[in-house]
Amino acid sequence: MTTAILETPSQTKPAKQKVMLVEGNEAAALGVALARPDMVAVYPITPQSSLVEHVAKLIADGKMDADIVDAEGEHSVLSVLQGGALAGARTYTATCGPGLAFMFEPYFRTSGMRLPIVMSIVTRDGITPQSVWGGHQDAMTVREVGWVQVYCETVQEVLDTTIMAFKIAEHHDVMLPVNVCLDGNYLSYGTSRVELPDQAEVDAFMGVKDVNWHVALDPLRPMAVDPLTGGSGGKGPSTFVRYRKGQCKGMQNSLRVIEEVHAEWAQRFGRSFAPLVEEYRLEGADYAIMTLGSMTGAAKDAIDEARDAGKKVGLIKIKTFSPFPVDALMKSLDKVQAVGVVDRSVGFRWNCGPMYQETMGVLYRLGRHIPSMSFIGGLAGADITVGHFHRVIEATEKLLSAPAPIEPVWLNEKD
Amino acid sequence: MANFGGAYNTIAFDANKCDGCGDCMTACATAKVGVGDTARSRIQIVGSADDGFELALCRQCADPKCVTVCPAAALTKNYASGVIDWNGDKCVDCLLCTVGCAYAGIALDAGTGHVAKCDTCDGAPACVPACPHDALTYVTTSRIYNEVGDWEDLFAPGLAGCQGCNTELLMRHTLRRVGPETVLATPPGCVPGMGSVGFNGTTGTKIPVFHPLLTNTAAMLAGIKRQYKRVGREVNALAIAGDGGASDVGFQSLSGAAERNEQILFMVVDNEGYMNTGMQRSSCTPYGAWTSTTPIGKGSGGMPAQGKTQDAKNLPLIMVNHRCEYVATASTAYMEDLYDKLDRAIQASKRGFAYLHVYSPCTTGWRFPTDQNMEVARKAVETNFVMLWEYNRTDGLRFTRPVDDPLPVTEYLKAMGRFRHLSPDQISHIQAKVVENLAFVKQMAHRQSA
């Protein structure tokens, strides 16, 4: 029943694929190995740890030819990779939660330097309250920093998207770092059947590595990287503006490139994922619920049951959260009369979920009033069950006939 | 005319240290004529108008008047050694040269009936080690000028340092030495503040250069070096960082890179604070020093604010405890020492982590006249406030310029305004700390070499 908003190419070319049973973290590591990075820097943090352990073992076993740097913290992890990328390396790491917070200083800078580093965020809720469990708060907190951020729904999607992320990041029209977000606990440790692409096929898909054509620290082509700009005089302000505008353009370009890369993936490997926005049973729906990440599985089950019960409800899933797929989402929202948005994190400033906040912006641009409301669930590892989604569906349905509540609904508050 | 325009080694004289004992003359006469007759010495210490002493000795002039006036061509400038050679076979004993020389550097030796002059004992002058007061030194820095002078200066002309700052000197020398196959990291501070990474698209450096963050210099360099190693290219990874970024907020990445023995050369220019941003305190700021965040004031409760209340963190010793490939301290007042260490650090960085800590007096932040930089740097060493040593895992730690008879630390402290307010108690504290630090490093030198 899954239909991508983008027309998917015909899946006529079944590729050689090995079938395995792996957890999401191992799937990510296998994807990394297939993408053949030159350099991986690691620092362990729950629930990411088994991911970097898998990467380390793949390298130790000779199944992956990369330089592994066991750095002394996330701040250095990303800094090592910046240096590597500036010297021409394809680079990868993974982190989450407090690790991402510690990494923030070089994290902000990576997109500014246009370094195509790929980093998994095995999403974890923010502390404090103290917690080691999943939630999107970490990734959401850095959504405004110029990284491309995509969220996966399944373990297979983690594997495939991890490979695609390198191609998206290194596309000359993008040249931005990419976060592949996989839900801590639910995807990191969730074990599923996956199909492992063939290395030669992935090599052909990836093409020629070209990481530092635009900015390099190389004695063969000496340049000053990141000289001082800005201020209020001379060429400073316009130079700074051109840098920033270029970043924003790269972000917008990535929307097209993400679609292209997903289409090519489907063609080569026979598996298609909605690149930006997925619609599920939205045709003929009066209202929709919106989801992000692994919660979507339970949400789809709830939609199926609701549809069976005669409710005209559909689902909109966001895969690409940054840049926010405004046009794609506008087209989907235009098909319904009300929407309920389920977030796995909070937006402290608006007292709602961050994705809901973004959606309100899209609704404004749509220019047609659609009642909407915010649901917050699955914080700190809590499960969002089919039962929770039925509550979401019922509450959203009420928007068709009653005023929308301003307060968010906290799904696990009384669990 | 080989080496025309080159530099030569010279014998230098410090009149302040000379007490006229004459030991140098005895040594010279013994070396040259076999008897300790000071009248026949080619170096003569004579009374000066101010009741001190001055030196009568051949200066081995570049434009020697003795050579010009000699009618027999018996005196010639040797452009290989720099020495004015006297040829007895040609000399006609007219003594015109003794009149031509303004320094009384050539004189009649009554014992032979001919003129005699200093020939520097072929580069090992006997007078220098004979001086019990270190008033004579044989300056061999010409090596640096001659070797390095023709190498390409890899910085743009006119870096925007403060007047009298020695860091530009250090940067230019270091880059010349390391050469163009280098990637240079200059984290926020005085070094990029001088324009090494440039402004608005222009660069101050002819090799690849970048601003790391203040916090991640060692980590970024490690990534660069590793990738070049992976693809089989020999590229030096060099940091020229300030003490703040290294000892405070950047310490974690520094320590991590040292522990991983990354093949980089990390040079810290220690001006004992955040001088580029307005002279704030760092953990390398010494006890009692004024900085803009450890200001002087009346305080409260009868406790006046009198500068920094903690002792400096000794970063180079901490690096020794990482068992780095090479660790050394250096000073621009001792360039030969610095160059030796730079050579060894570069070599060590091809094997693992090399750390060079260079003390860098700051005219602006330490408050001393702009022509006093080298003097302040020298006084720091002569008082043992700063110790020059080096470490490697095989030979342990050793002093490279031990100061056995140090000046009181007040000789150093009084040279600058940042210590002007010190109370007698504070001075005692600093002097005691100098003694304690020396004892500690000595013990370490002993233990590591044992």
Nearest CA in chain B to A233: B200
What's the token pair of residue B37?
A: 């007759």
Task: Answer yes or no: is pLDDT of A300 > 60.
Answer: yes
| Among A39, A105, A218, beta carbon nearest to B223 | A39
Shortest Cα distance from A368 to chain B (angstroms)? 45
The enclosing H or E element of B359 equals strand B354-359
The pLDDT > 70 percentage for chain A reads 96
Would you give the distance in Å from CA B219 to the centre of its chain? 29
Mean of pLDDT values over B11-25: 94
Residues of A with a Cβ under 8 Å from any B Cβ are 38-39, 41, 67, 69-73, 75-77, 79-89, 91, 105-106, 109, 216-219, 222-229, 234-236, 239
The alpha carbons of chain A give a radius of gyration, in whole angstroms, of 21
What pLDDT is recorded for position B227? 98
Residue B200: left if φ>0, alpha if ψ -120 to 50, beta else—which one? Answer: left
Q: What's the rounded Cα separation, in Å, for the pair B14 and A175?
A: 62
Q: What's the rounded Cα separation, in Å, for the pair B88 and B389?
A: 46
pLDDT band at A15 (very low <50, low <70, confident <90, very high): low
**For the purposes of burial, counting CB atoms within 10 Å of the CB of A215, is it exposed (0-12), middle (13-18) or buried (19 or more)?**
middle
Per-domain boundaries in chain B: 10-140, 152-449
B215 close contact with A: CB closer than 8 A: yes
Residue type, B201: G
Q: What's the rounded Cα separation, in Å, for the pair A7 and A5?
A: 6
What pLDDT is recorded for position B3? 56
pLDDT in tens, B183-199: 999 999 999 999 899 88
The CATH topology of domain B152-449 is Rossmann fold (3.40.50)
ipTM for the whole complex:
0.93
Of residues B205 and B200, more confidently modeled: B205
Enumerate the residues of chain A whose CB falls inside 8 A of the CB of residue B219.
Answer: 71, 75-77, 79-80, 83
Enumerate the residues of chain B whose CB falls inside 8 A of the CB of residue A72.
Answer: 252-253, 255-256, 259
Of residues B161 and B252, more confidently modeled: B252
B234 close contact with A: CB closer than 8 A: no
Q: What's the rounded Cα separation, in Å, for the pair B294 and B280?
A: 8
What's the token pair of residue B368?
A: 């001393």
Enumerate the residues of chain B whose CB falls inside 8 A of the CB of residue A81.
Answer: 223
pLDDT in tens, A331-366: 999 999 999 999 999 999 999 999 999 999 999 999
Mean of pLDDT values over B285-306: 95
The CATH topology of domain B10-140 is Alpha-Beta Plaits (3.30.70)
| Among A79, A223, A228, beta carbon nearest to B208 | A223
Task: Answer yes or no: is pLDDT of B62 > 90.
Answer: no
Work out the number of other CB atoms within 10 angstroms of the CB of residue B299: 10
Mean of pLDDT values over A201-205: 97
Q: What are phi and psi of A365, to 5 degrees?
A: -70, -30
Enumerate the residues of chain B whose CB falls inside 8 A of the CB of residue A223.
Answer: 203, 208
Mean of pLDDT values over B205-230: 97
What's the token pair of residue A290?
A: 């919106």
Q: Which of B152, B200, B209 to mutate to test the interface with A (most CBs of A within 10 A)?
A: B200
Nearest CA in chain A to B211: A226
Name the pairing type of β-strands B106-109 and B182-185: unpaired
Enumerate the residues of chain B whose CB falls inside 8 A of the CB of residue A217.
Answer: 183, 208, 210, 224
Task: Answer yes or no: is pLDDT of B63 > 80.
Answer: yes
The CATH number of domain A277-410, selected from 3.40.50.10490, 3.40.50.920, 3.30.43.10, 3.40.50.300: 3.40.50.920
Q: Which residues pair with A278 in a beta bridge?
A: A4, A317
Work out the number of other CB atoms within 10 angstroms of the CB of residue A27: 31
Mean of pLDDT values over A45-55: 98
Q: Who contacts A251 (Cβ-Cβ below 8 Å, separation ≥6)? A: A146, A148, A176, A322, A323
The average confidence (pLDDT) of chain B is: 94
Mean of pLDDT values over A267-279: 97
What pLDDT is recorded for position B4? 59
- The DSSP string of A191-236 is EEEEEEEPHHHHHHHH-----SSSS---TTS--EES-B--SSSTTH
Q: Which of A93, A217, A226, A242 to mutate to test the interface with B (most CBs of B within 10 A)?
A: A217
Residues A165 and A118: beta-carbon distance below 8 Å: yes
* Residue intervals in chain A for CATH 3.40.50.920: 277-410
Q: What's the rounded Cα separation, in Å, for the pair A17 and B320?
A: 53
What pLDDT is recorded for position A13? 54
pLDDT in tens, B406-424: 999 999 999 999 999 999 9
Task: Answer yes or no: is pLDDT of A81 > 80.
Answer: yes
B261 close contact with A: CB closer than 8 A: no
B181 close contact with A: CB closer than 8 A: yes
What pLDDT is recorded for position B446? 81
The average confidence (pLDDT) of chain A is: 95
Question: Is A75 in contact with B230 (Cβ distance < 8 A)?
Answer: no
pLDDT in tens, A150-181: 999 999 999 999 999 999 999 999 999 999 99
Shortest Cα distance from A196 to chain B (angstroms)? 28
Taking the alpha carbons of A61, A66, A72, A73 in that order, is the dihedral positive or negative?
A: negative
Residues A370 and A339: beta-carbon distance below 8 Å: yes
Shortest Cα distance from B182 to chain A (angstroms)? 6
Lowest mean pLDDT among A5-9, A50-54, A305-309, B12-16: A5-9
Mean of pLDDT values over A194-198: 97
The alpha carbons of chain B give a radius of gyration, in whole angstroms, of 25
pLDDT band at B200 (very low <50, low <70, confident <90, very high): confident
Q: Who contacts B249 (Cβ-Cβ below 8 Å, separation ≥6)? A: B214, B215
Q: What's the rounded Cα separation, in Å, for the pair B321 and B318?
A: 5
The enclosing H or E element of A92 equals strand A91-95
Residues B142 and B7: beta-carbon distance below 8 Å: yes
The pLDDT > 90 percentage for chain B reads 85
Question: Is B219 in contact with A80 (Cβ distance < 8 A)?
Answer: yes
Q: Which of A64, A69, A80 to mutate to test the interface with B (most CBs of B within 10 A)?
A: A80
pLDDT in tens, B341-389: 999 999 999 999 999 999 999 999 999 999 999 999 999 999 999 999 9
Q: What's the rounded Cα separation, in Å, for the pair A367 and A385?
A: 33
Of residues A197 and B201, more confidently modeled: A197
pLDDT in tens, B124-175: 999 999 999 999 999 888 877 887 778 889 998 888 899 999 999 999 999 9
pLDDT in tens, B310-337: 999 999 999 999 999 999 999 999 998 9
| Among A73, A77, A84, beta carbon nearest to B227 | A84
Mean of pLDDT values over B246-268: 98
Task: Answer yes or no: is pLDDT of A71 > 60.
Answer: yes
Enumerate the residues of chain B whose CB falls inside 8 A of the CB of residue A237.
Answer: none
Shortest Cα distance from A220 to chain B (angstroms)? 8
pLDDT band at A14 (very low <50, low <70, confident <90, very high): low
Question: Is B255 in contact with A72 (Cβ distance < 8 A)?
Answer: yes
Enumerate the residues of chain B whose CB falls inside 8 A of the CB of residue A37.
Answer: none
| Among B210, B221, B230, beta carbon nearest to A226 | B210
Which CATH class, in words, describes the domain spanning A3-214+247-269?
alpha beta
Lowest mean pLDDT among A7-16, A28-37, B181-190, B306-315: A7-16
Task: Answer yes or no: is pLDDT of B2 > 70.
Answer: no
The pLDDT > 70 percentage for chain B reads 98
pLDDT band at B80 (very low <50, low <70, confident <90, very high): confident
